[in-house]
Structure 1
Amino acid sequence: MKTLRSPFPRLATALVSTLFACALQAQTLPDKPVVSGTFLGDGKDGKIQYLVVQTREPFSDQPAIRLVFTEKDPSSSKKPDFDAAFKKLGSALVISVHKDGGIFGCDVVHTAHSKSPFSSIGKIKMKEFKVTETHASGTLSTGGTQEFFDQKWDVELTFSAPLPKGAFAATEEEPKPAATPASSSKKMAQEGDNEKPAASTGPQLPVAQLPLPAAARDVEYKKVVGHITFRSDESVSAVATDFSKKLKQQGWKDQPGSLIGKTNAIIKRKLNGADLTIMIQPEGKGCTAKVFTQGLDWSSPPSSTSGTPASQPTKGSEVKDVEDEANKLLNDALKKIPGGLK
């Protein structure tokens, strides 16, 4: 007489094995951020040891988060991304990334670089990016050494970290009423009135039309490198607020990486293919500002209002050619970018 064997013990064993494997995998997920690898600046390792994962608003209608990699412990910082941008946390990388791993914001901050922070989108990629309900992991890589104004940088960082509550939250859209012919026509008319000309179909905005804060003085327009510098007797926050308001009125849109505080400010704006990066720092009782432009028309810049116009070399100096003058102006514009704020 043959004994019939039930298949259930075998199924139970397989189920237990699967659950055990899942439990082991869950145990490998860190309860704190883990970072390993290198962040080189001119051959010097930035010694990245910490990672803060921040929630942020969606960008281009896609959910996103911000990854703040730092050399120094950011636990006491109320705004790690802001402090990282001003080298208060040592060498740092501030990355904005979509849920699919696409990077749309990258601020490079290395203590070995005199010209930092700087933005570099397209030079760094996210590899093997994985997102679960509770964690995110991946590898940031530049795929080799990159250069920015004669500064070399190289990134190869692997990380895994818990996600904060609300990470990768999508934009919630309110239900819209069904469109009627009359409402559709009205909406199209309104959109037509508010529409801005695209960069590919319209002329570039003349730099002379860029609105500056009312308190700006000693304004220098540096045509060779496309920079504007000025001073003000007002505070950093007052100048940043006024500047932001005027840019908004002209149609400039806020971009990732804008950080406005009481003592330092970074303002990033975009309009019809043109980009602005504005650095404002305290100096004496007031502040100084540097405006880095891309995509503006510099064919007829306004005259500088400072004692020594940017178009003229400093007395006693000799400029051999345009390239030497460009390098000189570039150094003047960038030497005080928050490199000494550690």
Structure 2
Amino acid sequence: MLYKNAEHVDQQLIVLREKNEARELAAMHRMHAANEVPAPPTINLLIKTKLFPWESLESLLFRVSTLNHLSGISILQRALMLPENGVMSIRRHLQLGVALGQDLRALSPTIPTLMSKSTIRLQGHLLPIKHLALSSYRVCPHCVEELGYGKAYWSLAPFSVCEMHKCMLIDRCAACEKPLTATRPAYDRCSCGARYSKISSTESSKALHEMSRIIAAKFTRQPITNESHLYPDEVLSMELLDVLELLTFLAALSEHPSTTYLDLNRKIVSLKLCHLRCKKSSSALLDWPNGFHKLLASTRSFRSYNETTATVYNSISHVIGAIPAGTQRKWCRFILSGVESFLSNRESWSHSSY
């Protein structure tokens, strides 16, 4: 009797052991399936082309599609399973290199590469994703007509004016008001048939044109000529990231603290809004520090009857609080020096032109 009971227990142990092994095996398969990323499809287009200096990936895709008689780049994007937001992983570099017939050393810098959840590498620059408008498209009508391709730095959010032709970039068709998308038949042609290169361009102000020249020079790592004398020397000596952060900070300032913090962190892609924001920032920088003083006076959250330095400081505390604490960034030191001069100049406390 004892023997039969022992045999029954042994059988139960075996069944239990087999169940545990089965569960462990199933868990292992689920883990492998969750971590397994399907390899992106590989396409080798028949006709290749060379990459032009500082050309954007969007422009290259359109040119290759045209050479291979494809209607736009939407077909190519679907075939290669390219992300809609234009941001790619490092694994995509080899795939695109094979498809487009490009050397990786030349192609990789022009691919907007995701380095972390909030940063992108483009042409060797590590930039916060909020500074790039990769989900929308922009072109300069004159550059498209003369060069036949587009520049990578057109996607920088504050960049709204062509540094070569002093005209506004466009992000929608003037004939049908349709935004520029990947579904358009060609780089220079809207789905309605209008050609962007034939659109009459809007000339920009000298201040915005000079700012675009500064941004383009910083992006391409070219020296800034002496013609850019409208802005302070401190701005001209900043790195690209500092300039972009400075313009974003000045454009976001408002008398409402919540609005200021929201504008500092949200991503702006509309070219019209980017142009207005850059105009506001440029106005504050043109006559430094007086222009900045006027902006600060307009962003004060309250005003008191008998004002002191302390009350004025409290009225712009949301502005000071938006500056990264303990940072050594050059743009932060530049802004803090402007705040210090504002607090020491009683005449500027109530003077505002915004």
Q: TM over 0.5, yes or no?
A: no
Write 1 or 2 for the structure with the bigger share of helix.
2
Write 1 or 2 for the structure with the bigger share of strand.
1
Q: Please, what TM-score do these two structures have when normalized by structure 1?
A: 0.25
